[in-house]
Amino acid sequence: MSVSISRSVAVKTLVSIFKDKAYSNIAVSSAFSNTEMSDRDKALASALIYGVLDRKITIDYVISSYVKTPISRIKPITINAIRIAIYQIMFMDKIPASAAVNESVNIVKTSKEKYNSSFTNGVLRSFLREPVKIPQGSDINSLSIKYSCPASLIESFVSDYGKETAVSLLEESLKKPPITLRVNTLKTDPSCLIKKLENEGIFSEIGEIENSLKILSGFDIAESSSYKDGLFHIEDLASQKLINLIGLKDNIRVLDICSAPGGKAFTMAEIMNNSGEIVACDLYEHRVNLIENGSKRLGIKTINAMINDAAVYNENFGLFDVVLCDVPCSGLGVIRRKPEIKYKDITDNEFKDLVNIQALILENASKYVKVGGTLVYSTCTLKKAENKGQISAFLDKHSEFDVKYNGEFMPHIDGTDGFYCAILLKNR
């Protein structure tokens, strides 16, 4: 009995993500590197994995209409085989429903859960005979099912931004995220890079801000010779806009206190024309290695990557012209890229700990800013307690800082990831 490799890999990867709490990008990368697959198979597997992650609550609502067993008690291979079939039938126009059903049944039949093959077939045939309707109301529960987002997260968005903006964020969260490159101006320019990428079958256009490119189609980072040659790095437009707002100059001293994997440090080094010094830190050695490897690939010589705890004062650092703290956060601005993030409980102690850590890092980072220097705080989340709430509390204690910029980048307005940044100037 033949089993679709793309669907089989999708099910195994979803099991890993849901059961083992693996990050989607890491789980997908691992699955693809450990399995011989064609580009077409990879594309389908990726579409199924991220599709199910995007629509999990919606899909589970559908499944629960046909089973008496709670979703959490259905065996992992079985439930994920059913999920990918439901996703194909509901959201992928070019795949016949019969193929989606048969392939999922075969996956279960050839697994250690083969005793559930009839159950899988029954659920899927019931769905085909009598499809359940998705609620279209505007109440929180209906929005949760329609947009596959936990009610607690929707309530948080509504509380912070109002219902209209919350719905816009939910709609945007299910769309394909843009891929933006930062051109390495130490080695090339946007026009030359567009031509080089086109020769590789990768199509792009000039981005919204200087030295950025927007990818249009045909992109595989690992296989790109332009990437290997250090002609660009991946960086969302919001992050690039932040770096442009700082007002960097040549030959200054910069501290990027939570730097890994290093994208912002790379952009700063390029803007500073490989001059001055950028001290780029992370708490873990393997993440510091990411910064070092990226710097080497890009030909950057001014980044000094090191292990350092951002929340503890380091008396050896001295003072800096610019201190950037891109703090650990709930990540709610990047759920288009990592949809599993939205299923985390934002009301638990882990979230409260994050807010405390952010405050500690911001307070500590401020000690490294020289008079006349700049303190930058940023997150890739849209939860105000982590953003404007942090800056407001900090400014209440630090009258020596003035606000240069304080605002969010919104996916549905700015075409970026959800992102927040504040730029503060130290006046005395």
pLDDT, tens only, 401-412: 999 999 999 999
Cα distances from 332 to residues 90, 202, 411, in angstroms, run 26, 29, 11
From the list 258, 325, 329, 380, the catalytic residue is 380
Domain 237-426 class, CATH top level: alpha beta
Cα 285 to Cα 288: distance, rounded to the nearest angstrom: 5
pLDDT digits (tens, 9 = 90+) for 349-378: 778 889 999 999 999 999 999 999 999 999
The helix/strand/coil state of 314 is coil
CA angle 124, 1, 95 (to 5 degrees): 45
Which of 2, 98, 1, 103 lies closest to 48, judged by CA? 103
User: What is the rounded radius of gyration, in angstroms, for the C-alpha atoms of the chain?
Assistant: 23
Q: CA nearest 294: which of 269, 275, 326?
A: 269
Q: What is the mean pLDDT of the chain?
A: 94
**Mean pLDDT over residues 379-393, rounded?**
96
Q: Which CATH number fits domain 5-129: 3.40.50.2300, 1.10.1040.10, 1.20.1250.20, 1.10.940.10?
A: 1.10.940.10
In this predicted structure, what is the pLDDT of residue 99? 92
The sheet carrying 212-217 orders its strands as 203-206, 212-217, 180-183, 232-234
Strand order across the beta sheet in which 253-256 lies: 303-307, 277-282, 253-256, 320-326, 369-379, 419-426, 401-409
**In contact, 273 and 250? CB cutoff 8 Å:** yes
Is 380 designated active site?
A: yes
**Parallel/antiparallel/unpaired status of strands 203-206 and 180-183:** unpaired
| Domain residue ranges in the chain | 5-129, 140-173, 237-426
Amino acid, single-letter form, for residue 24: S
pTM: predicted TM-score of the whole model, two decimal places: 0.92
Question: What's the pLDDT at 1?
Answer: 62
Planar angle of CA 57, 18, 109, nearest 5 degrees? 95
